[in-house]
Structure 1
Amino acid sequence: MADDTAAPTPETPEESAEATAARTAKRARLLRILAIAIVSIAAIWGIWYFLTQAGRVSTDNAYVGADSATVTALVAGPVKDVRVSGTQVVKKGDILVILDDADQRIAVADAEAALRQARQRYGQASATADAARSRVAARAADIAQARARLRDADAAVAKARAELARRESIAGTGAVSAEELTTARTALASAIAARDLAAAGISSAEATRGSASGDLGAAEAVVRGTTIDTAPDVAAAQARLEKAKLDLARTVIRAPVDGVVTNKQVQVGQRIAAGAPIMVIVPVATAYVDANFKESQFRRIRIGQPVELTSDYYGGDVVYRGKVIGIAGGTGAAFALIPAQNATGNWVKVVQRLPVRIAIDPRDLKAHPLRVGLSMEATIDTRGN
């Protein structure tokens, strides 16, 4: 039986060389295409990097921060009511905690009574000054009367002296008796005594007026240059009343800012002291980012440059827009409680990081709120400088 399988025809040297040349040419074409593809990809990547990445510095050592508001009790007292819970969103002015205000209400009533008493004392002092002024005027009238009496006494003395002289001049003729002469002398002595009494009355009236003037000065010193509202005692009592009312108002503790309640440390029935922190409100709507860039990246970082930020909280699809608003005055190590001691023989240089404060666009924060402490990735575009 004959074998149907045909034996392969051996290749000639010429055919083998042509096949090798064809394979070599094909390989060369493939290598050229691969080289062109690599160069094209490198060029595209270079153009993309130059257009989008050149001049950009990034770090993943960045964290969300906010100027949190610590809520403290400004007056002491037992807690009557707690209106919020942890993680609750509050608005500025919302009531957080109410303290028992019995002591403060009593203090307000006491201050009101003290104010009324101070006003009453001022009225009494004003009335005393008016009375002293009237007494001074009355003493002036007494002096005028005493002087008038002195003038009358002087006239009486002059008349009695003239009568005595007239009688003495005719006593030798026998026309005047000894009794009449004695009576005239007595009348002169009485007139002189009355004049001396009138003079003493003037001195007494003047002394009384001096005493009344002193009382008037003392009374006017209390009310001089003031009104019932500006008198020192009244003003002090009014200030105490305002302080008591302020303490009463402070028994209602309100939110100082918009934000989220955290770290709540107050319960109903607890007695808190003035100045004791009771909770923290984090204003997430005004959060910022502190990004710690390496010192070698600061060659072109400037305030005002735009920043792109992403967070693991939302993933890379959510990009926040921001702006550099400040650069710290020193590294974290420089302000550490125990700074690094580099003056040693085994010192090894470590690249330091400097915090950069980044403000986030409020619209992005409103659309995707962040929480304090979240990690971020920040990329600063320095091409503008």
Structure 2
Amino acid sequence: MNAPTPSIRPATSRTRKKALATLATVVALSATAWGLYEWRVASHFESTDNAYVQGNLIQITPQIGGTVVAILADDTDFVKAGQSLVKLDPADAKLALDQAEANLGQAVRQVRTLYANNGSFDAQIKLRESDVVRAQTEIARATDDLNRRQGLAGNGAVSKEELNHAQTQLSNGISALAAAQAGVTAAKEQLRSNQTMTEGVSVEKHPSVLSAAAKVREAWLATQRANLPAPVDGYVARRTVQLGQRVAAGTPMMSIVPLNQVWVDANFKEVQLRHIRIGQPVKLTADIYGTKVSYDGVVAGMGMGTGAAFALLPAQNATGNWIKVVQRVPVRVTLNAEQLVKNPLRVGLSMEAEVDVSQQDGKMLADAPRESALVQTSVYASLDSGAAAEVRRIVAANLGSH
């Protein structure tokens, strides 16, 4: 019989204990490392993949009604500010402009007549005043005649009929003087009434002329508004207008998306908002480019409510069975303009956002109003300049030698 082999259980037990000790050490070191990472690094960041690119969707709508006669831009086209997008039939607007111009010319000539009447009424006053002087002369002569005849009537040198005739002449002179004086008063009232229509203003600034000029500007603007320009640089999207379509004022035709003015709405859970402040830096990546392209952003503000609060059908948590759902609040993040030029984004793209919350000196809510316009355009500012020139031309043409 062979000799018994030595037992291997002690050796196996020692190996197992050693492996368990090693595993426990690794787990402890890993937990410690994770704790240190969470404390020193991860706790300084808040991240979410519930983030999307947003931008201004500028609707192109007509200010007047009309029939579409030309479409000059289509979906995906890039357009510059001021470039024509759609043209409407301008025939009705031109007819209204012609009528307004004729009314303005007539108003100028009527006002010129008012100014000319001032001189006419002044001449009438002088004429009536000369009538007064003539009537006073006639009264003086008739008075002398009557006095002479009354002195001669006692000795029979003058008949009673001749004396009566002299008295009649004096009465007629007094009546003529009263009529002449009344004529002077009437002429002065007419002049004063006419002067109230003209004093203090020139023909060009007369209210009647200004009212007619306003109608010309209105009609002129209508002719210009038959051409719809792009208010900003951007890309055409959602074109719905068709050639020959009769559109009313305010009908959406297409949209312009300025991709240089996009931002990101990152929807953070409510428990993540406690450390997020305005001005904190944000790192973003887009699914369209992957992790090889990153964007530098800044927290610009936080929404005033959760998505559920502003939903079309908000949740009614006070009715029926209730299950708590973690809410999210949109945080607006502005992007670096140079990075957008190099790697453009589109509205609605998915993003991943990571906010560095180590800086806690910022504000959670803005506490001052915006000092400048968010967006603006000067495309429409030049429309009225042509109207003003047209008004000046018509007024000058109807002023004559005034």
TM category (shorter chain) comes to 0.7 to 0.9
- 3-state DSSP class of the match of 1:309? strand
| Corresponding residue number in structure 1 for 2:206 | 231
Which AA in structure 2 matches 1:210? Answer: T
Q: Aligned pair 1:297/2:286, yes or no?
A: no
| Corresponding residue number in structure 2 for 1:241 | 216
Residues 181-200 of structure 1: pairs in structure 2 closer than 5 A: 181=156, 183=158, 185-200=160-175
Q: Aligned pair 1:96/2:71, yes or no?
A: no
Which digits, 9 at most, give the CA deviation of each residue in 1:172-222, with x for residues without a partner?
xxxxxxxxx153544433322211111111112122223323432333333
* TM-fit CA distance, 1:64: 1.0
- Give the % identical residues: 39
| Corresponding residue number in structure 2 for 1:133 | 122
Which digits, 9 at most, give the CA deviation of each residue in 1:18-75, with x for residues without a partner?
xx77x99888888777777666666665555555422211111111111211110112
Residues 19-98 of structure 1: pairs in structure 2 closer than 5 A: 48-98=37-87
**Contact 1:163–1:184 (CA<8 Å) still a contact in 2?**
no
> Which of residues 130, 135, 139 in structure 2 aligns to 1:150?
139
Name the CA distance, whole Å, in 2 between partners of 1:203 and 1:95: 74
Residues 1-385 of structure 1: pairs in structure 2 closer than 5 A: 48-165=37-154, 168=155, 181=156, 183=158, 185-385=160-360
Name the CA distance, whole Å, in 2 between partners of 1:335 and 1:312: 27
Which AA in structure 1 matches 2:302? Answer: I
Q: TM-score, normalised by structure 1?
A: 0.84
Which AA in structure 1 matches 2:346? Answer: R
Which digits, 9 at most, give the CA deviation of each residue in 1:122-168, with x for residues without a partner?
11122223212211221112112111211121122222222334xx2
Name the CA distance, whole Å, in 2 between partners of 1:371 and 1:221: 64
**Contact 2:152–2:158 (CA<8 Å) still a contact in 1?**
no
Q: Which runs of 5+ in 1 are unaligned?
A: 1-8, 169-180
Name the CA distance, whole Å, in 1 between partners of 2:320 and 2:208: 73
CA RMSD of aligned residues (A): 2.7
After superposition, the Cα gap between the structure-2 partners of 1:230 and 1:336, relative to the gap in structure 1 and judged at 3 Å, is same
- 3-state DSSP class of the match of 1:266? coil
Which AA in structure 2 matches 1:309? Answer: L
Name the CA distance, whole Å, in 1 between partners of 2:38 and 2:130: 109
Name the CA distance, whole Å, in 1 between partners of 2:5 and 2:117: 148
Name the CA distance, whole Å, in 2 between partners of 1:84 and 1:51: 54
**Contact 2:149–2:158 (CA<8 Å) still a contact in 1?**
no
- 3-state DSSP class of the match of 1:299? helix
Judge which range, 371-380 or 340-349, deviates more. 340-349
Which AA in structure 2 matches 1:88? Answer: D
After superposition, the Cα gap between the structure-2 partners of 1:31 and 1:351, relative to the gap in structure 1 and judged at 3 Å, is closer
Judge which range, 218-227 or 258-267, deviates more. 218-227
Q: Which runs of 5+ in 2 are unaligned?
A: 361-402
Tell me which structure has the larger Cα radius of gyration: 1
Name the CA distance, whole Å, in 1 between partners of 2:41 and 2:295: 17
**Contact 2:146–2:166 (CA<8 Å) still a contact in 1?**
yes
After superposition, the Cα gap between the structure-2 partners of 1:194 and 1:220, relative to the gap in structure 1 and judged at 3 Å, is same
Which digits, 9 at most, give the CA deviation of each residue in 1:221-256, with x for residues without a partner?
332333211222211110111111111111111111
Name the CA distance, whole Å, in 1 between partners of 2:188 and 2:71: 64
* TM-fit CA distance, 1:384: 0.6
Which digits, 9 at most, give the CA deviation of each residue in 1:327-355, with x for residues without a partner?
11111211223322222352121111111
**Contact 2:264–2:334 (CA<8 Å) still a contact in 1?**
yes
Q: TM-score, normalised by structure 2?
A: 0.81
**Contact 1:125–1:222 (CA<8 Å) still a contact in 2?**
yes
After superposition, the Cα gap between the structure-2 partners of 1:340 and 1:32, relative to the gap in structure 1 and judged at 3 Å, is closer
